[in-house]
């Protein structure tokens, strides 16, 4: 029943937003976000007894992790949007914005909850088209360019994803005959009996196709543009949950095909994609001049890390990966929210023009420093714990060289991130520049609240994650079939 409410609520509220006055729409959006988050949390307890099924819906521990991610960012973006969207903007624009935000959040909650690889593809395609519209919602030249590139590249990638879906269907015909439903239960149960040639092809195509949306190099080229030009709440959702939800699709393909294809092949492919993404992202981070672009490349870095974590093939690394997804959503959401506040304050995204952030923004300044440290996996934040687990798994199961390369690359990425942050936050604004004349204040309290909540979540995940959450992750790893 919660499943049904979860997959209806956001969509209905979104449509309702088009009809309501902006003020009511804002309230409805926040309510919908918070209720979705509550329902997602309540799912944690429900799936401990095995997967829930309801018609075309299915929830198991793995999908709940992603639902939590999506719902968390949906709720925080909804609160943040209250402060972000200009109240004096035309009512039509505000309605459209909230409609898009709701539908986008809703689509990302639905994707992990639908049962079957075909419906999963449909849901992910919906997230693509909705988010492409939202990237273009501000109607600037750059936004139109970014939206077009994003839509085209992501759709082409999903075209390959569709091909993967069809091939995996073919792989299952050896077990279930010509006509069957492609549900997750069936596919997971089929295990090693899938046609191995077809499963291997489907797996590679899925990594490439869905990988386009995850932002794996070399098919990541849309990601920095879209993240930079989208409105900030959407950037946060793109980075924290859209990438994660696409990664969920990759994980399902890994889960289904690894028995018939052989874990070695699966892990090698993932490690290659992961290292390449880390490499590209780490060196791109060093040269960025744009604050949101910096964070976008950091997302590519983290997605590469997730790929490596799965590629290591160790249960502890996989637990780390799932924890990482939760923590990364909070940290990257925070970082983008802070960037949005800074843009609001300084009127620019150029790292060279933003100075004295700690002085001018009493809350956001320190919170940005905290989020960047969290993204760089500093204790006591959740990402420290998750990266530690991933690396431990890598040392246990994989080659030392790979782990060493990983460590070197995330260190380079850290240098790039921290250099930009220190220059914007700690270096005081030179007298006479526009930045120096700004007053010391926060643009809106609504924009600070989600950042504070996110930071608390990060600290909790880092110091002592709730037992229920760790149990959920553990169960997901067991169900995943990782030994």
> Which residue's CB is nearer to another protein, number 167 or number 305?
167
Q: Which residue has the tokens 């992790």?
A: 65
Calculate the CA dihedral of residues 205, 211, 217, 221 and round it to 10 degrees. Answer: 110
Q: Which residue has the tokens 């997730």?
A: 306
> Which residue's CB is nearer to another protein, number 44 or number 413?
413
Gap between the Cα atoms of 146 and 144, Å rounded: 6
- Output DSSP code: residue 182: -
**Residue 275 in 3-state DSSP?**
helix
> What is the nearest approach in angstroms of another protein to the Cβ of residue 454?
28
> What is the nearest approach in angstroms of another protein to the Cβ of residue 80?
24
CB 446 within 8 A of CB 82: yes
Gap between the Cα atoms of 393 and 386, Å rounded: 11
> What is the nearest approach in angstroms of another protein to the Cβ of residue 458?
29
Gap between the Cα atoms of 397 and 315, Å rounded: 10
> Which residue's CB is nearer to another protein, number 182 or number 275?
182
> What is the nearest approach in angstroms of another protein to the Cβ of residue 227?
11
> Which residue's CB is nearer to another protein, number 130 or number 308?
130
> Which residue's CB is nearer to another protein, number 354 or number 429?
354
Per-residue tokens: 106? 């809703």
Angle, nearest 10°, between helix axes 61-84 and 449-463? 150
* Residue 55: C-alpha distances to residues 58, 64, 115, 127, 392 (Å): 8, 17, 8, 21, 40
> Which residue's CB is nearer to another protein, number 268 or number 433?
268
> Which residue's CB is nearer to another protein, number 114 or number 461?
114
**Residue 58 in 3-state DSSP?**
strand
Gap between the Cα atoms of 418 and 414, Å rounded: 6
> What is the nearest approach in angstroms of another protein to the Cβ of residue 59?
20
Gap between the Cα atoms of 403 and 393, Å rounded: 10
Residue 278 CA from chain centroid, whole number: 16
Task: Please enumerate in sequence order all residues whose Cβ is within 8 A of that of 257, keeping only pairs 6 or more positions apart, or say none.
Answer: 168, 171, 194, 199, 200, 202, 203, 266
> Which residue's CB is nearer to another protein, number 154 or number 361?
154
> Which residue's CB is nearer to another protein, number 1 or number 287?
287
Gap between the Cα atoms of 227 and 234, Å rounded: 8
Find, among 455, 337, 442, the residue nearest to 80 by Cα.
337
CB 278 within 8 A of CB 410: yes
> What is the nearest approach in angstroms of another protein to the Cβ of residue 298?
15
> What is the nearest approach in angstroms of another protein to the Cβ of residue 123?
9
Task: Please enumerate in sequence order all residues whose Cβ is within 8 A of that of 229, keeping only pairs 6 or more positions apart, or say none.
Answer: 135, 138, 140, 142, 143, 145, 146, 147
> What is the nearest approach in angstroms of another protein to the Cβ of residue 208?
12
Find, among 298, 275, 256, the residue nearest to 167 by Cα.
256
> What is the nearest approach in angstroms of another protein to the Cβ of residue 145?
5
> What is the nearest approach in angstroms of another protein to the Cβ of residue 257?
14
Binding site for another protein (CB under 8 A): 116, 118-119, 121-122, 125-126, 129-130, 132-133, 136, 139-142, 144-149, 151-152, 155-156, 159-160, 162-163, 166-167, 169-170, 173, 177-182, 197-198, 201, 224-225, 228-229, 284, 287-289, 293
Please, which residues bridge with residue 290 across strands? 350
> Which residue's CB is nearer to another protein, number 152 or number 452?
152
Q: How far apart are the first and last CA of the chain?
A: 33
> Which residue's CB is nearer to another protein, number 99 or number 480?
99
> Which residue's CB is nearer to another protein, number 56 or number 426?
56
**What backbone torsions phi and psi does residue 381 show, to the nearest 5 degrees?**
-85, 160
> What is the nearest approach in angstroms of another protein to the Cβ of residue 228?
7
Per-residue tokens: 19? 């009809």
Residue 235 CA from chain centroid, whole number: 10
> What is the nearest approach in angstroms of another protein to the Cβ of residue 207?
15
């Amino acid at each position: 029943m919660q499943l049904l409410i979860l997959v209806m609520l956001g969509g209905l509220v979104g449509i309702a937003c088009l009809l309501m006055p902006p003020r009511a729409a804002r309230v409805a959006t926040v309510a919908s976000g918070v209720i979705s988050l509550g329902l997602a949390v309540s799912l944690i307890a429900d799936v401990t007894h095995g997967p829930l099924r309801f018609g075309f819906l299915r929830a198991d521990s793995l999908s709940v992790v992603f639902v939590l991610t999506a719902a968390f960012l949906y709720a925080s973006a909804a609160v943040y949007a209250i402060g972000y969207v200009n109240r004096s903007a035309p009512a039509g624009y505000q309605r459209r914005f909230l409609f898009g935000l709701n539908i986008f959040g809703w689509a990302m909650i639905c994707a992990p909850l639908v049962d079957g690889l075909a419906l999963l593809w449909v849901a992910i395609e919906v997230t693509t088209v909705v988010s492409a519209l939202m990237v273009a919602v501000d109607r600037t030249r750059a936004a139109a360019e970014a939206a077009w590139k994003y839509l085209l590249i992501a759709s082409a990638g999903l075209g390959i994803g569709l091909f993967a879906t069809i091939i995996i269907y073919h792989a299952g015909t050896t077990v279930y005959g010509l006509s069957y439903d492609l549900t997750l239960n069936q596919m997971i149960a089929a295990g090693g009996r899938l046609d191995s040639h077809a499963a291997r092809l489907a797996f590679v195509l899925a990594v490439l196709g869905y990988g386009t949306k995850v932002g794996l190099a070399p098919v990541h080229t849309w990601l920095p543009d879209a993240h930079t030009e989208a409105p900030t709440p959407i950037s946060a959702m793109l980075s924290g949950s859209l990438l994660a939800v696409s990664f969920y699709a990759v994980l399902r393909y890994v889960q289904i095909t690894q028995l018939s294809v052989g874990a070695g092949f699966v892990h090698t492919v993932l490690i290659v994609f992961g290292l390449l993404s880390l490499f590209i992202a780490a060196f791109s981070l060093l040269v960025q001049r744009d604050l949101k672009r910096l964070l976008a490349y950091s997302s590519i870095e983290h997605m590469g890390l997730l790929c490596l974590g799965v590629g290591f093939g160790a249960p502890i690394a996989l637990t780390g990966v799932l924890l990482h997804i939760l923590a990364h959503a909070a940290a990257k959401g925070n970082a983008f929210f802070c960037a949005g506040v800074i843009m609001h304050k300084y009127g620019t995204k150029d790292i060279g023009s933003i100075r004295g952030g700690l002085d001018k923004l009493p809350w956001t300044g320190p919170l940005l420093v905290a989020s960047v440290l969290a993204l760089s996996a500093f204790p006591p934040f959740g990402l420290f714990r998750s990266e530690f687990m991933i690396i431990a798994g890598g040392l246990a199961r994989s080659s030392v060289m790979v782990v060493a390369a990983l460590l070197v690359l995330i260190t380079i990425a850290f240098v790039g991130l921290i250099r930009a942050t220190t220059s914007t936050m700690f270096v005081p604004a030179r007298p006479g520049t526009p930045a120096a004349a700004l007053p010391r204040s926060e643009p809106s309290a609504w924009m600070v609240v989600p950042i504070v909540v996110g930071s608390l979540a990060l600290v909790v995940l880092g110091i002592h994650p709730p037992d229920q959450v760790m149990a959920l992750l553990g169960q997901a790893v067991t169900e995943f079939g990782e030994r």
